[in-house]
Structure 1
Amino acid sequence: MDYKDYYKILEVDKKASKEQIKKQYKKLARKYHPDVNPGNKEAEEKFKAINEAHEVLSDDEKRQKYDTLGADWQRYQQTGGRTGGFDWSQYAQQGGNAGGGFYSFQEEGEGGDFSDFFSSIFGERRSGNRRSSMRAKGQDFSAELTVFMEEAYHGVKKTFTINDKNLRINVKPGVEDGQVIRLKGNGGPGRNGSEPGDLYITLRVPPDPRFTRQGNDIHLEVQVPVYRAALGGDILVDTLGGQLKLKIKPETKNGTLLRLKGKGFPVYNQPGQFGDLFVKVVLQLPEGLSEKEKELFKQLAQLRND
C-alpha cells in the first residue's frame, strides 16, 4: 500500500491554513471536475485524489492523525507492511465510517471512492468488494452580481437565474464591491441524503462618475460660481441620499473640502449609521461675459490693484 502525500496532491505547504487548503481545493476541483473534463480518466482520478486529500486536511482530527502517521510511515515500510515492530493499531480503523459531510464539489457518483490508504487509516464501510457510498455535502456554486452605487446606497432586491433556478436576493444598504453573500442550500444537491451546497454571490459595484466611495465616506466635487465663493451663499448639491443645501462661507477658496457628518454611505448591517460626505469646492469662472460684466471685473481689478 503506497503512502499518499495529501499536501502534494493539493499543492499546499504542510503549514497551510484551513482557509488556504479550502481555497486551493476549490481551485483544483474546478480544474479537474468531470464535467469540465468529460471522458478524461486521468482528470477523474486526479479529482478523486483531490477530494480525498481535502477530506483529510480540512478536518483537524484527521489532519493531526495523518501528520503523525507521516512521521512513522518510513518505519512501517521498513517492516514490509507487517505490523511487527510497528504499532499500526493506533492508525488503522476496523470497519467504521469516515462519514460526515464536507465542503465538496463532488456530485452523485463522482469522487466518492477513497483509496485503501485512506480506508486503512480512517475506515470506511464495505459491502462485499464494493465500498459503500459516503455522504458528502453538495457542490458549492459561485456567481457575480452587479449592483450600481445608488442601489448599494439604498439597498435593492435582485432577481436572477442560476442553473435554471430563479432566485431573489435582498441586497442590504452599504454593500461594497467584492463583498460575498452566501445563500445557504442553493448550491448542488447533497450526496446520499447530505445537505446541499451553498451559493456564494460576489457583488460587483462599478464606479460612479459623480461620486467616489472610500469605505463608508463619499467624496464629490461641486462647481461653485466665483462670485458665490467670494460673497458666500447657499448652493444645492446632488447626493446619493437626495439634494442637500450647502452653505458656502464668504471668501471660500478653490479646493476647499467641506465635511458633512453622517451624510455618507450607510454602514452595512448597522441601521441608522452613516459615513461622512466630503464636498470639494471647485470654483467656476463665468463664461460669455457681457461688456458690462467685463467693465465690472476691470473695476474690481483696479480696486484690488491687480
Structure 2
Amino acid sequence: MDYKDYYKILEVDKKAPKEEIKKQYKKLARKYHPDVNPGNKEAEEKFKAINEAHEVLSDDEKRQKYDTLGADWKRYEQAGGGAGGFDWSQYAQGGRPGGSYTYSNMGGDFEGADFSDFFRDIFGGMGGGGGQQAGSRRTRSFKGQDYTAELTLPLHEAYTGGRKTITVNGKNLRINIKPGVEDGQTIRLKGNGGPGANGGEPGDLYITFRIEPDPHFTRRGNDLYVDADIPVYKAALGGDAFIDTMSGQLKIKVKPETKNGTLLRLRGKGFPVYNQPDTFGDLYVKINLQLPENLTEKEKDLFQQLAQARGE
C-alpha cells in the first residue's frame, strides 16, 4: 500500500494553517471538478485525491494522526507492513487490509468521494460496529459550476428594462431586466449554473450587461446628454422648441438671446436609477444654433437691415 502525501496533493506546506488549506482546496476542487473536465479520467482521479487530502488536513485530530504516521511510515515499510515489531494497530482500525474495519472515535462518518485504501486503513470507513455495510461510503456534496454570460442591449432597452430570453449551455432562460442597468454591470441568477455533484446545489449564472452606444444620447452615470438644433432667430427672440428625450419629445421654452453651446438642465428626465423605482437622473441639452440655408433675396435684405440697425 502506497503512502499518500496529502500535503503534496494539496500543494501546501506541512505547516500550512487551516485557512490556507481551505483556500487551496477550493482552488484545486474548482480546477479539477468533473463539470469543468467532463470525461477526463485523470482530472477525476485528481479531484478524488484532493477531496481525500482535504478530509484529513482540515480535521485537527485526523491531521495529527496522519502527521505522526508520516514520521513512522518508513519504519512501517521496512517492517514489512506491520511485522517486525512495528505497532500498526495504533494507526490502522481493525486489522489487516481487506478485512472489516471499525470507525475510530473521530465522529464515525467520513465525507468524501471514493477514499483510498490508505485512508480507510488509517481512519476507518467501512462497515462493522458502525452499522454500515462493507464498502459503503457517504460522499461529499459539491455545488455545481458557476456559469458566465454576456447580454448586449441597446441604450433604450437598458432605459426601459423588460424581459429577454438568453441561451446558456443549450438552455433557454427568460430573465427580467430592471430599468437602469449599466454597461459592465453583473447580476446573479441563483441555481442556473451547472448541476451539483452528489446531491449538491446547482451553481449560479452570472450575466454581464454590455450597453451599445446610442447615436443621439450619451450616458454618464444616471445623466443623459443630447444636442438640440435651434434656429438662430428663435435663439435670438426666444420661443418654444421640441427636444428628444428617452421617453419621447418634450416642449421647452428657449429664452431670448440664448447663446450657442448653452447647456440646459432638465431635472428627472435622464436615466432611471437602477433598483430605485421612479428615480431618474437629469437630462442635459446642449443648444446648437442652426443658421438658415439657401436664403431668399428678401431674407438677405432682412439680415442686412439687422446688421445696419446694429451698426455692423
Sort the TM-score into its range (normalised by shorter chain): 0.5 to 0.7
User: Quick one: which of 205, 215, 234 aligns to 2:211?
Assistant: 205
> Structure 1 CA distance, aligned partners of 2:295 and 2:152?
45
Q: Paired residue for 2:229?
A: 223
The answer as to 2:194 corresponding to 1:188 is yes
CA distance in 2, matches of 1:275, 1:183: 27
SS of the equivalent of 1:258 reads strand
Alignment-derived partner of residue 37 in structure 2: 34
CA distances 1:123-173 after superposition (whole Å, capped 9, x unpaired): 895686897532011122111112221111111111222233222111111
Q: Secondary structure at the match of 1:151?
A: helix
Q: Deviations over 1:249-301 (max 9, x none)?
A: 11111111110111111111111111111111111111111122122222222
Instruction: Please report how far the alpha carbon of residue 174 of structure 1 lies from its aligned counterpart in structure 2 after TM superposition.
Output: 1.0
Matched AA of 2:236: A
For residue 138 of structure 1, what is the aligned residue in structure 2? 144
- For the pair 1:266 / 2:269, whether they are aligned, the reply is no
* 8 Å contact kept, 2:192–2:205: yes
TM-score by length of 1: 0.67
Q: Write out per-residue CA displacement over residues 198-227 of structure 1, whole angstroms, 9 at most, x where no aligned residue.
A: 111112211111111111111111111111
Supply the AA of the counterpart residue of 2:159. Answer: Y
Distance 2:277 2:145 in 1: 34
How far apart are 1:5 and its partner, in Å? 8.1
Shift of 1:94: 6.5
Q: Distance in 1 between matches of 2:52 and 2:212?
A: 40
What is the CA–CA distance in structure 2 between the aligned matches of 1:26 and 1:175, rounded to whole Å? 33
> What are the ranges of 5 or more consecutive residues in structure 2 without an aligned counterpart?
76-104, 128-133
Q: Secondary structure of the residue that 1:134 maps to in structure 2?
A: coil
Does 1:240 pair with 2:243?
Answer: no
Structure number, greater radius of gyration: 2
- The answer on 1:176 being equivalent to 2:196 is no
Match for 1:221: what amino acid? Answer: D
Tell me: CA distance 1:294–1:241, structure 2 relative to 1, closer, same or farther (3 Å): same
* TM alignment of 1:102-141, pairs within 5 A: 132-141=138-147
Question: Given the alignment of the two structures, is residue 289 of structure 1 paired with residue 295 of structure 2, yes or no?
Answer: yes
Change (3 A) 1:235 1:96: same
Superposition deviation, residue 76 in structure 1: 7.2
Amino acid at match of 2:273: V
Q: What SS does the aligned partner of 2:257 have?
A: coil
User: Which letter does structure 1 place at the counterpart of 2:296?
Assistant: S
CA RMSD of aligned residues (A): 4.4
- The number of residue pairs the alignment matches comes to 264
Tell me which amino acid in the other structure corresponds to 2:264: L
Gap runs ≥5 in structure 1? 57-61, 83-91, 100-111
SS at match of 1:186: coil
Structure 1 residue 190 displacement after superposition: 1.5
Structure-2 change in CA distance of 1:187 and 1:291 (3 Å): same
- The percentage of counterpart residues that share the same residue type is 57
**Which position in structure 1 is the counterpart of 2:85?**
none
User: Secondary structure of 1:265's match?
Assistant: coil
- Residues 147 and 204 of structure 1 are in contact (CA less than 8 Å); yes or no, is this contact kept in structure 2? yes
**TM-superposed deviation, 1:117:** 11
- Pair 1:214-2:241 in alignment: no
Residues 234, 245 of structure 1: 8 Å contact kept: yes
Within 2, Cα distance between the matches of 1:305 and 1:76?
A: 105
Matched, 1:299 2:302: no
Q: TM-score, normalised by structure 2?
A: 0.66
Aligned to 1:102: none
CA 1:98–1:131: 2 relative to 1, 3 Å? closer
